Amino acid sequence: MEIFAERLKELRNEKGLTQNQLAKELGLTHTAICRWESGLRMPTAQAIVIIAKYFGVSADYLLGLED
């Protein structure tokens, strides 16, 4: 879970987005983004696909299965 949280935060910061901005871009809630980045929760498979497509990375990258 830590790897996902770190990578999501890193990708968001690289785009210069706040958690609120990213949530709006993805059609998700700020609370979800906050919980994911803090490692309190993991997103659903559907949310992982949305995030991966938005940032142009693979789901495997987000989940720490590849670099």
- List pLDDT tens digits, range 29-43: 999 999 999 999 999
Question: Please, what is the end-to-end C-alpha distance for the chain in angstroms?
Answer: 15
Taking the C-alpha atoms of residue 58 and residue 16, their distance in angstroms, rounded to an integer, is: 20
The predicted pLDDT at position 1 comes to 67
Residues 6+ apart with CB under 8 A from 1: 39, 42
- Rounded CA-CA distance 41/48 in Å is 12
Q: In a 10 Å sphere around its CB, with 0-12 CB exposed, 13-18 middle and 19+ buried, how is residue 12 labelled?
A: buried
What pLDDT does residue 67 have?
A: 87
Is pLDDT at 60 greater than 70 in this prediction?
yes
